[in-house]
Amino acid sequence: MTPVIDWAALAPAIIVMGAAVLGVIVEAFAPRGTRRPIQVTITFAALAAALVAVVWRWTEVQANGSQTVVGGQLIEDPFTLMAQGIVLVSGLLAAFVIADRTQTREGAFAASAAARPGSPEERELTRAGIDQTEVYPLVLFAVTGMMVFPAAGDLLTLFIALEVLSLPLYVLSAMARRKRLISQEAALKYFLLGAFSSAFFLMGISLLYGFSGSVRYSEVAAATTVTVGMDWMLIAGIALVLIGLLFKVGAVPFHSWTPDVYQGAPTPITGFMAAGTKVAAFGAMIRFLYVIAPGMEADLEVLLWTVIIATMIVGTVLGIVQKDIKRMLAYSSIAHAGFVLIAVTSFQETGIGATLFYLLAYGVATVGAFGVVTLVREKDAAGNITGEATSLESYAGLAKRKPGLAVAMLVFLLSFAGIPLTGGFVGKFTAFAAGIEGGAWPLVLIAVIASAATAYFYFRLVVLMFFTEPDDRTTVIASEGMTLVAIALAAVATIALGVVPGPVLELVGNAAVLLP
């Protein structure tokens, strides 16, 4: 039978996916010189239109209630729409950084990702000022997957969304303009480990199908109360699916790709990936756990607590010893994944809202921080501007060179550290409160200690920026200004989420409604 599809409910994802397909057509037929402005226009228009569509659908769901779409394969409820809204906000901020070009008229991406690094072909394309404009449709395809991931109502749709968001990121990670070999190595590691985690994910889906005879969340959940003698298959299936999701959020021991990919990928893509992927993966994890495994906390407790404790400790300890800012932020993201997992695994309604708020605060601060990284550059002996200065010592005296940029970076670092009057503080407070409500006070105690320790490597950078003399080997490069717009918006949002969090907390509280 032909399914009855509510196309209006699919509007946000369709807008982004349609724009991505249009971007591919532009790449095929538009003259080379016109591709970049067309692609940038399509990208911003699609993300903004999709955000408007999400707001529209939110009002419809509040008025008429939640619903399943495409025969239950997708779910439209307040949680889905809030997660999609956070993805789009992060994507819009990241798009400013991705589309920006420096005063030397170069972007963050290689002139041709297919050219061999260091080859005459690559040098010729670079001198000609060729742009790799395939970046924009790839970003839109990734955003489509991120939007569908938390909306999935069955396991096969979840897997398809996982691959739609992952495959473009594998390609984008290999497209850095400088340090091409490191970038390609990072992409290869990401791809191989991602494929390995997908295998676990599919095996988990197979076991859950064998247990319940269905891949629909609601039917798997119903089978948990009537199927007898096959609990081992249910537990194993849930654990294997969780491995695939924990890989995407960078939780230990599935984190080994994170520092290498964060360091090797083009910095705008690192910020986009760090913010958007976490929102999508944690959103999918919440729906999966809260619908299929709400009564299995005791069975999963040892696994989940072990992962959370290891994630917080590894992220904190290894972050302290890093000397590269991108690797430091990578281990910071691992520690934050542990903090968010406390709220996710609380199995409380407050944990859903706390997770969404935390992801919003972390996402905007992360895009802003990596935006700052794109503007701090090295200089050679002749004074020519070269690649990004990612060594922590390169940030010495940044406040004396560019006080506005240093203050914005300070805001982001304070948010990461969980200092009051920033979004990060409210996010941690709500996440830890949800953990205590769920009985995980030992995890919260460890998280508080870890959070205090992570403050060391954030404030080490603050000392370098504000209380150290400038390093003559670095400079702050000018750009077309889009990165500065993203940094300013992210800084304002980070402060607003800390000073007046009430309206957003009320919104995410209303979003804590899951339709099975």
DSSP, residue by residue, 218-237: HHHHHHTTT--S-HHHHHHH
Token couple for 457: 């490597």
Please check whether residue 197 is in contact with residue 254, taking contact to mean a CB–CB distance below 8 angstroms. yes
117 class by beta-carbon count within 10 Å (0-12 exposed, 13-18 middle, 19+ buried):
middle
Please check whether residue 147 is in contact with residue 13, taking contact to mean a CB–CB distance below 8 angstroms. yes
Low-confidence ranges of the chain (pLDDT < 70): 103-104, 118, 128-129, 227-229, 381-383, 515-516
CA–CA distance from 195 to each of 148, 202, 241 (Å)? 20, 10, 14
Token couple for 363: 């996402």
Q: CA angle at residue 123 from 119 to 127, to 5 degrees?
A: 170
Position 204 scores a pLDDT of: 94
Termini Cα distance of the chain:
23
| Whole-number Å distance between alpha carbons of 258 and 115 | 25
Position 110 scores a pLDDT of: 79
SS3 content of the chain, % helix, strand, coil (to 5): 70, 5, 25
Please check whether residue 53 is in contact with residue 11, taking contact to mean a CB–CB distance below 8 angstroms. yes
Encode burial over 387-421: b for 16+ CB neighbours within 10 A, e otherwise.
ebbbbbebbbbbbebbeebbebbbbbbbbbbbbee
Token couple for 86: 């956070």
| Whole-number Å distance between alpha carbons of 166 and 172 | 10
Residue in 354, 402, 348, 375 with CA at minimum distance from that of residue 480: 375
Q: Quote the distance between the C-alpha of residue 241 and its chain's center.
A: 19
Could you tell me which residues come within 8 angstroms of residue 451 by beta carbon, excluding any fewer than 6 positions away?
A: 335, 339, 417, 418, 428
Which pTM does this prediction carry?
0.94
Kind of pairing between the strands at 67-69 and 74-76: antiparallel
67 class by beta-carbon count within 10 Å (0-12 exposed, 13-18 middle, 19+ buried):
middle
| Whole-number Å distance between alpha carbons of 292 and 220 | 6
Encode burial over 162-191: b for 16+ CB neighbours within 10 A, e otherwise.
bebbbbbbbbbbbbbbebbeebbbbbebbb
| Whole-number Å distance between alpha carbons of 342 and 332 | 16
